[in-house]
Every structure is written in C-alpha cells, then in structure tokens.
Chains A and B, each alone.
Chain A
C-alpha cells in the first residue's frame, strides 16, 4: 500500500468517515448522511487546506488515535478536547503537523459530543453514490472504524487556502431549537402543541446519528391511527407512539409513518449534534421564512 495512509490505533466509541453526504437519492430510500456538525467538519477541512468535499473523521465522545504513514497536516474541531502528537500537547482547532509514523491522539470531549479530524488530502475511501460518508441506518459507505483499520489518504491539494485559527461555537449548555409547525401538527391536541413549545425536554442517551431523542412530557395525539408512509426531511420532529419528540439527523429514514409536529431550522442542527445526554432542550416556534 502507498504511504498515503492512516492507521487507526484506537478507534474510539464510534468513529466514522463523513463528508457532505449523498443527498438526491431519498426516492430510493437512501439517507443523506454526512457530518452531523457540518460547520465543524468544514472548518477542519479549511484548516488543513482541503476542499469542502474532502472526507474527515467524526468521533463520538472519546476521540481516537491515529498514525499516519507519511507526514500530514491535521486539524481537530467540533467538541473541544486535548490533542497530542507522540505524547506532546498540540493545538486543538488549528493546523498541526504530524510526522510520518507519529501517534496523533485525539482525547475525550471536554464538552460536546462529536469531534472532527481532517487530514491533508482527505480520507480517500471509495465513494458510494458520490459520498464517502458512513450511513449507520442503511449501512452504506465504509463501516465504523475499528482498531487496526488502515484508511487511504488523498493527495494534498495546494489550491485551497489554509486558515490558522477560527472561532467555533461552544457546545450548548441549553439546546434551543427553532421550529416551524407542521406538516402534521393537526394530529396533536392543542394542549400538546403548547406543551411542545413551552416545556423543557432533555437530550436522551438513546440519541444517535439517526435522531436526537428526547425525554420529557409526552405529546398527546388528537387523531388516532397511522399515517400512510410519507417523505421525511432533515430536522423533522417525529413523534412516535411514546409521545417523546425525535429530531431527525443526517442518517434519518427517508420515509416514515409517525406524524411530524414541526421541523427544526437547519442552522440549529449542528448544535443538536453536540448536545450531550441530559442537556435541556427547548423548542421555540418561529415564523416560516
């Protein structure tokens, strides 16, 4: 194998390859997938001089450890964490040179959930339907990393300007999600509509790349029965029979039969990707643009 490669020394709890996903195939049942905290992934790519389409690694809670076979530039963004090269602390959120054969350690998240590790040249696994993203709902793309995985890297591009440092939002102490009502808000009681936008929910530990699950007051239905399957969008707030809202994230199913009470603004979803279990969640109704 070429020396443009990255050995996975410690895969971490759940580390996946992510890029901007594979939108445009929902009619075939293919989720969009892609980095949950898109701005953080994009920043990591800019920091190492990659183009916006380059694939990065998305870590979950406890980081990972990697050993490049050739000298690379890396940047770690998203959930703040300690970063070290061969045991020596280096900067988080900034370009870092990692010599060939050195050990890059991405520590556990101090706050937040998902970290992004960009490597100059990008992770160059074979794309599936135009994307290298791991889709945990349908199993498309490369499987989650395991210890010992070797990932091919692309050639660094000289075309993209690098930035040295950039501000990043802190993971939310309270998650405020702006929502527009519908399309199925009329399936709920007026009391449920008030509860939804006035009570505080909490992020459930059952959350994953498919959806942000919540704990809190159940939302009662005004209409019984099942909705015939219909198309679902990113940010849809689906309410399953237990009445607890679920916010659809990147690996969400493309169709579903539970009513969608509201849709979260896309701009608020990166923060949802960084909200640890137990974080208070408020849904705030806003006017449609």
Chain B
C-alpha cells in the first residue's frame, strides 16, 4: 500500500488490486461511521481510494501504511436486481470477442453476481466488476455520440449502465428500464460503491428490432 499526497488536504491510497481497494474502502467507511476518521470525500476507484478534505493527510498516511488492509468484510445482504433485455447493438461483437453465441453472452452475464467497484463518469454510473478476466472486451474504436439511458455496456473488466443519454464508447449488450439516477429520490443513486448487482433477463436475446 502506498499513500500519495494530493495537494495540501488529500491522500490517494494505492493498493495492489481492485479487491483490496474495495476492502480498504469498506474499512475507511467503517472508520468514518465510528467517528475516528474525519474526511469530506471517500472516492474509491480501480486501484485506489481518494480521501479528500483531511486536516492532517501526512499523519493519516503514516497510520494507513503502518497497518495492513483488513480482509473484505462480510458482504451486505441486499442485491439490487436490474431487469435487462439483452438486445444491445454490440451483442454480436461481444459474442465474437468471447468466442461464444449471443445467447451465451446473455447467459454468462445474467449468471454473474456483480459488485459496484466505484462510480464516476456521470452521477449514478457504476463500474461493476464480477466477470472473469477472460471476458474483458475493448472499448469501441469509435465512441457513439449518444448512448441511450438504460444501455448496459461492457468495457475492459467492467459492466456499466448509462444513467442518462450521453456519449460513450462501451460495447452495448442490453437495455434496462431501471432508473439508475433520480435526484428527487433518496438515495438518488440506485448503485453506490459496494452494492451487489444481478441482471435479470426480461425478454428474448437479440438485437432490438430484429424479427
């Protein structure tokens, strides 16, 4: 573990793996909840956790690097289920990358338990991990200028759902009607770091509009 100073009031704690980052994130949330850590933002990411708004980053840095990351805590019980139609325009490309038929992409994806590793890109956009690394796919060579809200996409090791229409380069395999972000709802974000997620097929597999 390395704790890199960021400006005068933040620390970027870097660990060896995504699993360690999730464990560290859980531990830091626990410390904040019990009152032993005062910090404005705790932002987990792929291999790091950013702590912003610290009074004494140097002291926390030495504290953190002196202690090992504890094992990941027992998983929370709730699983968010997202209904999905595997009808994305890139389903065939993903199937080709995986070397399987399209139905198998849907079967593998729907059989996987995902976890929100971190959020970013847009409010409510979660980077979901859970697929084995052999299913990693590259981003599209040319990003789309408009990806519809509710699109379920793959990029690298991640699955994500677009909370609203935006440009994007992920490979789109399906669509969900779930509302990922609603600022009038509490909580506004359906997915937050650590949330467990399952995709539940709600229609036939295949590109939208195909007979």
Interface residues of chain A, those whose CB is within 8 Å of chain B, are: 23-30, 128-129, 138-140, 180, 182-183, 228-233, 235-236, 253-256, 260, 263-266, 288-289
Contact = CB atoms under 8 A, between A and B. Distances in A.
Interface string B37-67: 0001111111111101100000000000000
Contact of B4 (A28, A183, A235): A183
Interface in B1-60: 4-10, 12, 40-50, 52-53
B189 A28 contact: yes
A230 B123 contact: no
Contacts of A230: 12, 45-48, 50
A30 B40 CA distance: 13
Q: Which of B44, B120, B121 has the most CB of A within 10 A?
A: B120
Q: Which applies to chain A's interface (DSSP): helix, strand, loop or mixed?
A: loop
A26 B193 CA distance: 11
Nearest to A27: B43
A231 B119 CA distance: 10
Interface of B: 4-10, 12, 40-50, 52-53, 118-125, 127, 164, 183, 188-189, 192-193
A163 B191 CA distance: 46
Q: Which of A27, A140, A229, A235 has the most CB of B within 10 A?
A: A27
Nearest to B29: A27
A233 B53 CA distance: 10
A129 B118 CA distance: 19
A263 B47 CA distance: 20
A74 to B, nearest CB: 29
A29 B6 contact: no
Which 5 A-B residue pairings sit nearest by Cβ, starting from the closest?
Answer: A231-B50, A255-B120, A228-B46, A231-B43, A263-B7
Nearest to A226: B156
Contacts of A266: 7-9
A27 B127 contact: no
